[in-house]
Amino acid sequence: MKKQGAIVLSSAMIALTVLGGCGAGTDNKSGASPSAAASAAAATPAAKPVTIKYYNWDNETTGPATKKLIDDFQAKYPNIKVESIPLVPSNSVESMKKLDVMMTSGEQVDVVLYSNIDETMARAAQGVLAPLNDLYKKDNVNPDEEYFINPKYKGNYYATMYTASDWLVMLNEDALKDAGLKPPAYDWTWDDFRDYAKKLTKGEGNDKRYGAYFHTWGEYANPIAYTDLKNPYLTADLKPGFNDPSFAYFFNLRRAMEKDDKSIKPYSDVVGGKLSYATEFINGKTSMLLSATFLVSALADKAKNPHTFKTVFAPMPRSSKNVEPGLSNFGASFVAIANNSKYKEEAYKFVRFMSTENNTRYDLSGWKKSDTKALLERLYGASKDLVDLDSLSAVLSDKRMRTNATTEVSAPYQNQLKKVLENGFSTFILDNKSAEDAQKFMMEEADKIIKQNTK
């Protein structure tokens, strides 16, 4: 993926040098005879084998990919054995809770997987993760030139980006054709999105197909905060940022689409029915879905998620015509090394290997030099009747795709602030509050959290 101007900017990759063993004859530059050189080599003890433990939440789908990854790694580093330990399969939240206990109980923990930047930053602040600066330096790696997102806390790097989940808009191609619409242009706006949703809405009652769907997460309450701002919850000086004008704009846009246009499912129905965003789209209940590339695997799985329409892809709409197109929200998973690990150098080798290889991964890569087009073809080439690879590749490979968000503006309590955003929108839409009242509520609640965490 090429995302120039993103959280970190693309540059040349670091060349990996494979060192071969010394040969005999004219290659023996030590001056010793071939037999003497061989004897000296034989006398050098091999590196002592170690076993490192890698904690994750693998399931039946991702587990085989991890096994192949480990097999390939151990073929390159035979003295480093890796034990993969899925804590709670398919559940990153519960896995991280278990992992927190393990990391403070003295059990061996070497490499850990985190599902998002907020969880990663929280652990970095707690001191349970090892700084990577010296390990990167020893390996001649500049992480800002290698990875799209680099979690930093107080000047130290604490994790390496593993998978990338770029946010975009997914559209039901059949619904587009039915409405006589072409896929959106790259420079479309949220006002255009609203217009598309109105035109894509069809039917009544249980047979109604809504034009778009918004879920309950903070990313749906105000997507602009995640694309255009340095931090969706905080200002550059770590004060509450919920008074940004984008919150009032998007809150009111959501209300207009629900109450006036009736082009999105009511928020009360989403909450009351505990609806699944993926199911709503795959079952044809909605024509457009704002989501991330982690959902593409589900769209391509015809056996588990039977449907007949093809999904086409468009970039995130821009906040206004005055903003250059291409701003997006980059989700990611990260691998880190436990601060108490006795095998940090071996763990680093595994982290670096898993973050740069392209043959076993099941999702997009956070490594800048990954071949995105080849990866998409490998992952979804057999499902071209369901996933439009041309539009997906076009969105992900566009040089304009970027984000203004940065880990330089972050705090370990951001998950609490995200909850404030979700509660603020909920009271706005369900209690019929004004956007200004909702913003005032969010500013006050965020201020309390910040003060509690910075005493």
Give tens-digit pLDDT for 202-228: 999 989 999 999 999 999 999 999 999
Assess if residue 9 is contained within a domain.
Answer: no
Average pLDDT over residues 315-331: 94
On average, the pLDDT of the chain sits at: 89
Identify whether residues 433 and 341 lie together within a single domain.
no
Phi, psi of 107 (to 5 degrees): -70, 155
The answer to whether the beta carbons of residues 348 and 427 sit under 8 Å apart is: no
The answer to whether the beta carbons of residues 332 and 116 sit under 8 Å apart is: yes
DSSP code, position 338? B
Assess if residue 222 is contained within a domain.
Answer: yes
- Cα angle 377, 383, 384; round to 5: 75
Identify whether residues 201 and 248 lie together within a single domain.
yes
Q: What is the pTM of this model?
A: 0.80
Q: How many C-beta neighbours within 10 Å does residue 28 have?
A: 15
* Structure confidence by residue, pLDDT tens digits, 386-415: 999 999 999 998 889 888 888 888 888 998
Kind and range of the H or E run holding 52: strand 50-56
Assess if residue 19 is contained within a domain.
Answer: no
38: Cβ contacts below 8 Å, ≥ 6 apart: 24
d(CA 46, CA 217): 52
Q: How many C-beta neighbours within 10 Å does residue 253 have?
A: 17
Assess if residue 93 is contained within a domain.
Answer: yes
Identify whether residues 353 and 231 lie together within a single domain.
no
Query: pLDDT at position 280, please?
Result: 97
Q: Report how many domains make up the chain.
A: 2
- Cα angle 299, 300, 306; round to 5: 70
* Structure confidence by residue, pLDDT tens digits, 42-92: 444 457 899 999 999 999 888 999 999 999 999 999 999 999 999 999 999
236: Cβ contacts below 8 Å, ≥ 6 apart: 230, 409
Domain CATH for 78: 3.40.190.10
Q: Which comes out higher in pLDDT, residue 178 or 373?
A: 178
Identify whether residues 237 and 155 lie together within a single domain.
no
Q: How many C-beta neighbours within 10 Å does residue 236 have?
A: 12
Query: pLDDT at position 409, please?
Result: 87
Q: Which comes out higher in pLDDT, residue 331 or 280?
A: 280
When mean pLDDT is compared across 14-28, 160-174, 324-338, 426-440, the lowest value belongs to: 14-28
Q: How confident is the model at residue 329 (pLDDT cuts 50, 70, 90)?
A: very high
**Exposed (0-12), middle (13-18) or buried (19+): which is 88, by Cβ within 10 Å?**
middle
Residue with tokens 């913003």: 439
Identify whether residues 316 and 360 lie together within a single domain.
no
Average pLDDT over residues 125-133: 96
Q: Which of 341, 365, 383 is the last residue of a domain?
A: 383
Q: Which of 383, 405, 422 is the last residue of a domain?
A: 383
d(CA 158, CA 128): 10
Average pLDDT over residues 319-330: 94
Average pLDDT over residues 440-451: 98
Identify whether residues 197 and 266 lie together within a single domain.
yes
SS3 letters across 277-317 = HHHHHHCCCEEEEEEEHHHHHHHHCCCCCCCCCCEEEECCC
Assess if residue 124 is contained within a domain.
Answer: yes
Identify whether residues 316 and 434 lie together within a single domain.
yes
Residue of 403, 396, 238 lying closest to 330 (CA atoms): 403
Assess if residue 145 is contained within a domain.
Answer: yes
Range with top average pLDDT, 13-22, 37-46, 125-134, 411-420: 125-134
Identify whether residues 262 and 402 lie together within a single domain.
yes
Assess if residue 287 is contained within a domain.
Answer: yes
- Domain span including residue 251: 166-329+388-453
DSSP code, position 400? T
Query: pLDDT at position 68, please?
Result: 96
- Does the pLDDT value for residue 39 go beyond 90? no
Phi-psi region of 22 (alpha: psi -120 to 50; beta: other; left: phi over 0): beta
